[in-house]
Chain A
Amino acid sequence: MRFSKLIHLSRVLLWREVRSGQMNIIILALLLAVTSATVISVFSSRLDAGMLDKSTELLGADLRVRSNAAIPPSFYQQAKLLGLKTTTTLEFPSVVVAGNMGAGNMGAGNEYAGDEMALAAIKAVDKGYPLKGSVTISNTLSSEGNVVHAGPKPGEIWLESRLFALLNTKIGDQVEVGRKTFHITAVILKESDRGGNFYSLSPRLMMNLNDVEAAGLVQVGSRVTWRLLASQANANDHTLDDYKAWLVPQIESFQNIESLSDNNLAMSGALKKARSYLSLAAILAILLSGIAIAMAARDYAQHHFDTSALLRTLGASRAQVLTLFILQLIYLAVVTSMAGLLLGTGIQELLVEVLRGLFSNNLPPAEYSAWVIAAATAPFTLIGFALPHLLRLGRVSPLRILRRELEPMSWNIGAVYGLAMAAIFALSFWFTDNLLMSAIVVFGGFVVLIILLFLVQLLLRIGDKIVPTHRINLVFRFAWQHIIRDTRSTSTQILAFSIILMVMMVINNVRTDLLADWQKSLPDDAPNYFAMNIQHYEIEPYQKALDTAGFGRKPLFPMVLGRLTKINQQRVQDNESINQDPALQRDLALTWDKTLPEGNKLIEGKWFTSDSGDNKQVSVEARLASRLGIEMNDSLTFEVASESFEASVTSLRYVDWATLNPNFYMIFSADVLQHLPASYLTSFHIPKDKQDQLTPLIRSFPTITLLDMSMVFKQIQGLLAQVASAVQYLLILVLLAGLVVLMATLHSSLDERIQQGAVLRTLGASKAQLRASQWSEFALLGFIAGLIAVAGTDAICFFLYNKLFELDYHIKWPLWVGLPLASSTLIMLFGAFTTRKVTQRSPITVLREI
């Protein structure tokens, strides 16, 4: 037979098969696999690009150089040479004065005539600022605001709302900054590159860089921070890397190239976790589709042994027969890939829509490689899951025409599973770029599956021994016998469905419990404001003021800002594996305390005891310790205002950052820091009805910085909810893949069921009896699957909650009844639908075909 003839024949055969519905399961499974792969591949690629965008937005640029002195002109020249855009910002603290300082050009309606002063964090910005991100400003204190991509014009200033309260001014008023008077033209609502050190926030005042000199604000020796902001026009070119390479040797000790702050890292960490969850869901969907493909392919091969034998008898070679069937697979792969790519693209758009708001701009498009990976899914799953079964078609002996019982040899079982695992592992590694996770999911999953399969079979065998079959009604006995007859096939069906249920339940539990726990851990009177920069002489009056206003206050912590410079006498900046860590690039808030603060838990070591008071000890937050490689008894060197001191690590602490209490990376024994000048911080709760009392408090203590934590709370909660709903969308794909597996298992037993149905009807069974028997079989399968799922969910959640989330897990008893019943009903309906042919076809037609 010529190749062109083979191509023609394969097309004709495939088209017939497709029309007869024989290929439905393979097509559905392939479609699901490619769709899931497209969703995750394209979405991850876009998310990665988006996260990069987000971080540049938080920097206000692609790259930022920070310096305590003016940036050398050569830095700008080199950037220009490489085609980068640049701009400059200058930050410094300064006292600003509001009031009638100018020549009577006060804003209309200003009844205030005195001088009101406040310390402001001034940021002077040049033309072009911000290169990335935006500033949100408003003309009134209460409106929503507009997003702008520029700073104030010369002669104008923008203030943060807190500063309006401190200065008792409003828009249109005048404020003196240095030697110059400025007009307030807007309120700053949001500044995307604010970042900075959380503990040294003063209210922002933004002005134009050109006004700085005239105001005489910056003199030699002033505490100022210059920043050079640079950005490249095209995200994909490498000019930025070239610039960075040029910069590194030029950087002096008072300069550094900035990376993201801790808060921003937390955000990108959450997104990375979300990505992992999504990848996991996608891999699961592909794995389940693969199983369905394998089952359908085995079925398909068995149905085509006769065709293969016939073709061989007619003179076709093994290779020709094999080509004929493989060509059909290739057509299927091409068509389903195209449809899956389209469908996947649509679904990932939906996910992007769900996560909208996390990114201020639209997510950038995916890279081409993402599409290539998605398109490779169909061939990969077919090779991994369908090929071993189809290759048997090439081994069919022509003698089968005479002796139907002759079946071609199966592949070695190890080879079949090995190939499948290799395929899924390759895909998983491609998607996640995470070797460990892929290995755990694929190989760990395989081991768990085998164990579960064994357990379910054991359970069924025990059931077979203890169920008194002769006491059961004939119809139900027949159903029960069907379940226990082929325990291997039955346990596969049960397992397929229980795994799907389990995954859905675990994710649902985690989502609701984590959200609930987060809310529970924040009681109604949880602190919603932080007060910082409290001087020791202000402690008493401030606490009194809080009590008088009726704000519930939390303990007060002393705070000294200092840097970690050495670990075990090794300079941290010399250690390349950790020197980029944000915690080493800035001052840390250091404190001392005699008791372990609320929300902290010792993991290793002992808390300071009173008799160890002068031992120079420090307790380190466990995650930071692991990031920086700090271990118990290590000696840490810190620098505070050019004084350096050492302390040895005597404990590691877990810190619940979600408590919204002041939390610290480093807590010292009192002897270490006590002699250093410290400011204090505390947190307190302002009830909704007492918000108006905040302004007098701010005015009475103008130098104390207040931070509104309810915003942070809302942001984190929003993030959790968005990630959870994105995961749920992918779970629908997992559920569908699971249903296809179920369909494949039911389909592989359909021939036998139809024959049985015909024989039973010939022997006088009514349709109702047949249905009752089959439906009760499915219902029982569903019930067992539900029980296993609920037990598995509790086991997994118990482990996850205790080991990972540190939460108490309470077994959900109502689920032990609800889930088996629900799954029983669902499988019964699904099984009834799949096997409806059993009662629909006339018995004589069926018996004649066999």
Chain B
Amino acid sequence: MSETLQTDVLLKLNNVSKTVASGSESLTILQGLSLEIKPSETTAIVGASGCGKSTLLGIMAGLDECSSGEVWLQGQPLHQLDEDQRAALRAKGVGFVFQNFQLLLGLTALENVSLPIEMSGKYNFKESQALAKNWLEKVGLNHRLTHYPRQLSGGEQQRVAIARAFACEPKVLFADEPTGNLDSDTGHQIIELLFELNQHLQTTLILVTHDDYLAQRCQSTLRIEAGKIS
């Protein structure tokens, strides 16, 4: 196989397995997974608890390493990169939204959003601040700029997380149960926001969810059962 991948595939998994040591035995979480996701596609990964959904998301995003197989993201072989190289790749074109928001508690809403913009190296401090402010306005939080995460509601925190994820204009956005910690009304609002921004920016969206409504909104669905695609 060549060391680059054709550009019409954003993410490709080739026979990916993941095993972890559990005491003296080894436990297989994912087994021989292969798949392709095209740019701008929206994909939902669904399955029962403990089937390996989140592990798969972690491997796709380069947050975790696979035990065997190949993972190509934006033409880069993740399986051959070390942690820092994967981090550099994430900084350039990958966004994240987590179930428990994962905001930095010591930073204000504005700082939480401007930090990755500045880290991408494309903008200076002032530009980052302006961009972040703009994004927080888009998610309806212009009145909460200087608030700390603990001063915000769950829905507001997730909005900050979404603003943070889109602010770097990533090619691909990974979301792990983005509505899992929210009530259904707020959950729906967050989903609408996510898809609206996704359409607007033509971002590839890959999300792990239990929420049927959310899964139905996606163009394709990957069902995982016992570490395999069913």
Contacts and interface: CB of A to CB of B under 8 A. Distances in A.
A239 B107 CA distance: 76
Contacts of B104: 756, 759-760
Contact of A767 (B58, B83, B94, B125): B83
B115 interface: yes
Interface stretch (A322-330, A432-440, A480-488): A480-488
Interface in A49-64: none
Interface stretch (B6-14, B33-41, B84-92, B217-225): B84-92
A762 B118 contact: no
Interface stretch (B95-103, B136-144, B190-198): B95-103
Nearest to B57: A844
Given A756-B106, A850-B100, A850-B102, A764 B63 contact: no
Nearest to B128: A474
A759 B90 contact: no
Nearest to A474: B118
A107 to B, nearest CB: 91
B88 A766 contact: yes
Closest 9 CB pairs of A and B: A764-B91, A844-B58, A844-B63, A764-B90, A763-B116, A485-B106, A844-B64, A766-B84, A470-B125
A761 B55 CA distance: 17
Nearest to B90: A764
A768 B106 CA distance: 21
A845 B55 CA distance: 10
Contact of A763 (B55, B83, B115): B115
A764 B58 contact: no
Interface string B104-133: 111100010001101110000110010000
Contacts of A848: 54
Interface string A437-471: 00000000000000000000000000000000011
A481 B91 CA distance: 21
B90 A763 contact: yes
A547 interface: no
Interface string A743-770: 0000000001001101111111111100
B120 A764 contact: yes
B102 A474 contact: no
A752 B84 contact: no
A481 B104 CA distance: 12
A842 interface: yes
B84 A843 contact: no
B87 A482 contact: no
10 contacts: A470-B129, A761-B83, A762-B63, A763-B96, A763-B116, A764-B87, A766-B84, A842-B65, A845-B64, A847-B102
B91 A763 contact: yes
Interface string B181-200: 00000000000000000000
A842 B116 contact: no
Nearest to A839: B83
B119 A481 contact: no
Nearest to B58: A844
A622 B49 CA distance: 85
Interface string B166-182: 00000000000000000
B123 to A, nearest CB: 11
Contacts of A481: 106-107, 111
B116 A764 contact: yes
Contact of A764 (B105, B111, B119): B119
B106 A764 contact: no
Contacts of A762: 63, 90, 96, 102
A759 B126 contact: no
Of the candidates A470, A471, A766, A844, the one having the most CB atoms from chain B within 10 angstroms of its own CB is: A844
Chain B interface mostly: helix
A763 B86 CA distance: 11
B172 to A, nearest CB: 13
Interface residues on A, range: 20 to 34
Contacts of A759: 102-104
A847 B98 contact: yes
A404 to B, nearest CB: 11
A842 B63 contact: yes
Contact of A842 (B64, B92, B105, B126): B64
Contacts of A845: 64
Contacts of A486: 106
B76 to A, nearest CB: 14
Contacts of A760: 104, 115
A764 B115 contact: no
Contacts of A758: 102
Of the candidates A470, A756, A762, A847, the one having the most CB atoms from chain B within 10 angstroms of its own CB is: A762
A765 B91 contact: yes
A480 to B, nearest CB: 11
Given A485-B106, A847-B102, 14 more contacts: A470-B126, A474-B118, A474-B125, A478-B115, A481-B111, A762-B96, A763-B90, A763-B116, A767-B83, A768-B84, A842-B83, A843-B63, A844-B54, A847-B98
Contacts of A844: 54-55, 58, 63-64
Contacts of B105: 752
A658 B97 CA distance: 76
A603 B88 CA distance: 74
Contacts of B106: 481-482, 485-486, 752, 756
A80 B91 CA distance: 95
A763 B121 CA distance: 12
Interface in A802-847: 842-845, 847
B88 A764 contact: yes
Interface in A572-588: none
A189 B175 CA distance: 91
Nearest to A756: B104
B119 A765 contact: yes
A760 B104 CA distance: 9
Contacts of B87: 761, 764-767
Contacts of A768: 84
A844 B59 CA distance: 9
A767 B88 CA distance: 10
Contacts of A485: 106
Nearest to A845: B64
A701 to B, nearest CB: 84
Contacts of A767: 83-84, 87
Interface in A777-817: none
A762 B88 CA distance: 10
Contacts of B126: 470
A843 B125 CA distance: 26
Interface string A615-639: 0000000000000000000000000
Given A763-B90, A764-B92, A474 B63 contact: no
A422 B89 CA distance: 57
Contacts of A764: 87-92, 94, 116, 119-120
Contacts of B98: 847
Interface in A477-498: 478, 481-482, 485-486
A396 to B, nearest CB: 21
A80 to B, nearest CB: 80
B195 to A, nearest CB: 22
Of the candidates A478, A486, A764, A850, the one having the most CB atoms from chain B within 10 angstroms of its own CB is: A764
A485 B107 CA distance: 8
Contacts of B118: 474
B119 A474 contact: yes
Nearest to A471: B125
Interface string B52-70: 0011001000011100000
A514 to B, nearest CB: 47
A551 B227 CA distance: 100
